[in-house]
Chain A
Amino acid sequence: MKGALRPALGAAALALALTAAPAFAQDKPAQIKIGITTFLSGPASVFGVPGKAAAEMIAEDINKKGGIGGVPVALTFVDEGAGGEALVSNYRRMVQDEKVDATFAAISSGSCTQLVPIAEDLKVMNFMWDCGAASILEARKHRYNFRTQANATPEMLAVLVYLLKTKPDFKTIAVVNQDYAWGRESWEIFSTALKAMKPDVKVVAELFPKFGAPDFSTEISRLMALKPDVVLTTSWGGDLDTLVRQAGQRGLLQQTTFVLGIGESSMQRLGADLPEGLIVGARGDHWFLHPERKNDAAFKAFNDAFKAKTGAWPIYPVYHMYQAFSALQASYDKAIKANGGKWPTREQVIDAAGGTEFQTWGRPVTLRADDNQGLEAQIVGVTKSAPGYDFKVLDNMMVFDAKPITTPGGQKSIEWLKTLTPDFAKMNVPTFKHGQ
């Protein structure tokens, strides 16, 4: 009997193998399709275009190495510059018609606010790859949306703590921010924390010039007349470049301590027009000469490749884009492992993403399981001339751990910031000199 069964069992096994093999191959898709929203037009294209260049470079590298779990990635881009209804329509088209497996949306907090509920409705995994509004993930718990970097709260808090540590005796401050959501929210975070940690500081001017304003002469005149100890701006792009150049030309940068909350992205463009001694934040621990990573061969290779491709060293949106890919790779790897090596369903990838830690070009980032918020370290430094560079570099860099400066899960940022005390600024933070 045994002998009679053996050929039959063998045939059955062969038949099973023949039928099972194609079924397994079908489960594994030909591509992982990723839909990315980024600014390809308008003022924010200073971030969006380098972000797109980074995405193309990273995808090419992933595919050269065999893809994610053996599956190559394919990218589709949507221009956030179109805004409003056009952005929403294009996002829906990507998800429903092109059937992308994941989306990276978006740069603008306004775009994120629009697209996050749609990603939830469409049940597609979305990585908010660059937008900073803290409130988006604090309003409710999401299943399909994750932020693969920090938000405005730790970004502003790191800058404030740096200011308090390096210039503890300032008495007056003024702000010049762009008049839109980011400019207003970043100041609300900064001023709330400042009031809690150093209540004796007087805010002498709150200036919110129009987004895209070509001229800040009047604001500069007013600041020169007021002579505040500190001027904060979280402006970016052409607005920041214009403000810094006009203020420098008229001597304001020399008269007061200037704090550029997210100035890292403008340093190369400003070149020699950016004086020494300005405090600069980087929306994360993003710096192409990151003191803890600068000797890492892979980090150097990434920076060199980006410089060769675009002519400029990477700025923070480039690193944010890398983080989105890194988070995607980590989530798929974790899901495949949890699924016994088989290709996971979309829902299994979502399950895996929560709590995932992934490597970045700074310190590792964790997608906090409580609220899907990325826990990302922050780097803040001061501008300094350095041989070999025709622009200022960061010196006296402090690298802040993510957890102490990020709003605890389940809490609202503004309420949490009100509970801080002056002792908060006494936290231990390692400081690095340029070249150290």
Chain B
Amino acid sequence: MDSTIFILALLDGVSYAALVFLVSVGLSLIFSVLRIVNVAHGSLYAYGAYVAATLSLAVAPISPWLTFPALLVASVAVGVVVGGVMERFLLRPVYGREDVLQLLITFAVFMIMDNLQRLIWGVQPIFASTPLKLLPNVSVLGVSYTSYQVILLPAVALLTVLGLRYFLRHTLAGAVILAVTEDREAATAIGVDARRVFLVTFMIGASLAALGGALASPTTSLVPGMGADMIVLSFAVAATAGLGQIEGAAVTALMIGIARAFVIYLQPEFEVLVPYLIMVLVLLIRPMGLFGVDKVRKI
């Protein structure tokens, strides 16, 4: 392998990993605190993308630069509103009951949101690429890249890792979440409102999924079914890292993204298999995931 391929594959892998990480870290965060595998996480990704595209298309005529805040606004709006409603009215009533109930409810939400998405936005692909076009291309070894994909997306992913780490380890709200994660009963006994922690955590996780979708929206066509694909991939990343591992999810997303890029350069036939092959191999050797520990409820 020559150095050109190595550098190009590395860049492609990092760019791909950034988006996958943003979605999978939300899934991981929700699992670590609420112990829920949220099947509707992919729908939150899709709604983040669709709402961001809708907002972007609305504000672009005023000023194309407004499309950047539109991406953020869409993520928070979807995370707070959709995530909030899901947690408060659908998941809260079944806490403490069989895990399968939560799984079934999130699956039902996924199906409902998928149908609603078609009703609201139709079935024709939607594309809102203004943010992508506003930033210049950069040339690496004679190959042109969009700086949106090779600079902005990895930067947002890095900021998210650092931000989450700081939030959970150095703020009171983060400490409260960690306390509930470690021992819900003990935290409740000292006056922590665990239900509120669950709600806020779910909204943060949902916002991260929506942020992934919003940031992807300028680069890809929004189509029915896009959420289903992303939930499978983000689950593979979260499971490989070990559910509940934030930094682990970042490293695993990088590992899968870079491996996928190298495979496309060297053996493209195996592209689709790579994430799942890595997941299976890791879980066979370490069932709790690469960075997981026996007690998975630790962030």
Contacts and interface: CB of A to CB of B under 8 A. Distances in A.
A242 B12 contact: no
Contacts of B114: 41
Nearest to A39: B123
B196 interface: no
A210 interface: yes
Contacts of B145: 217, 221, 250
B265 A222 contact: yes
Interface string A352-369: 000000000000000000
A249 B143 CA distance: 12
A145 to B, nearest CB: 28
Interface of B: 4-5, 8-9, 11-13, 15-16, 19, 114-115, 118, 122-125, 127, 129, 132-133, 137, 141-146, 149, 216, 219-226, 229-230, 260-261, 264-265, 268-269, 271-272
Interface in A202-244: 205-210, 212-215, 217-219, 221-222, 224-225, 237-239, 241-242
Contact of B133 (A43, A215, A241, A249): A249
Contacts of A224: 142-144
Contacts of A249: 129, 132-133, 137, 146
Q: Is the interface of B mostly helix, strand, loop or mixed?
A: helix
Contact of A41 (B13, B224, B226): B224
Interface in A233-275: 237-239, 241-242, 245-246, 249-251, 269, 273
Contact of A225 (B115, B118, B143, B229): B143
Contacts of B115: 41
A45 B143 contact: no
A341 interface: no
B191 to A, nearest CB: 44
Given A46-B123, A249-B129, A250-B146, A218 B265 contact: yes
A237 B125 contact: yes
A42 B117 CA distance: 11
Contacts of A221: 8-9, 11-12, 143, 145
B271 A209 contact: yes
Given A212-B225, A217-B12, A239-B221, A206 B216 contact: no
A46 B223 contact: yes
B40 to A, nearest CB: 17
Nearest to B132: A249
Given A222-B264, A239-B221, A212 B229 contact: yes
Contacts of A43: 223-225
A179 interface: yes
A49 interface: yes
Contact of B261 (A42, A209, A210, A218): A218
Given A210-B272, A225-B5, A269 B219 contact: no
21 contacts: A41-B114, A46-B125, A46-B223, A206-B268, A207-B268, A208-B268, A209-B271, A212-B229, A214-B221, A215-B219, A218-B9, A221-B9, A221-B145, A224-B142, A224-B144, A225-B8, A241-B221, A242-B125, A242-B127, A250-B143, A250-B144
B224 A218 contact: no
Interface in A292-327: 312
A165 B153 CA distance: 43
B273 to A, nearest CB: 10
Interface residues of A, number: 38
Contacts of B144: 224, 250-251
B52 to A, nearest CB: 14
Nearest to B261: A218
**Counting chain B CB atoms within 10 Å of each CB, which of A213, A239, A249 scores highest?**
A249
A238 B264 contact: no
Nearest to B125: A238
**Which residue, of B13, B230, B271, has the highest number of chain A Cβ atoms within 10 A?**
B271
Nearest to B118: A41
A245 B4 contact: no
A205 B19 CA distance: 26
Contacts of A205: 268
A219 B11 CA distance: 12
Given A214-B216, A238-B220, A269-B127, 19 more contacts: A41-B115, A41-B118, A43-B223, A43-B225, A45-B224, A46-B124, A179-B272, A206-B268, A208-B271, A209-B272, A214-B220, A217-B15, A217-B145, A217-B149, A218-B12, A222-B264, A225-B141, A225-B142, A242-B220
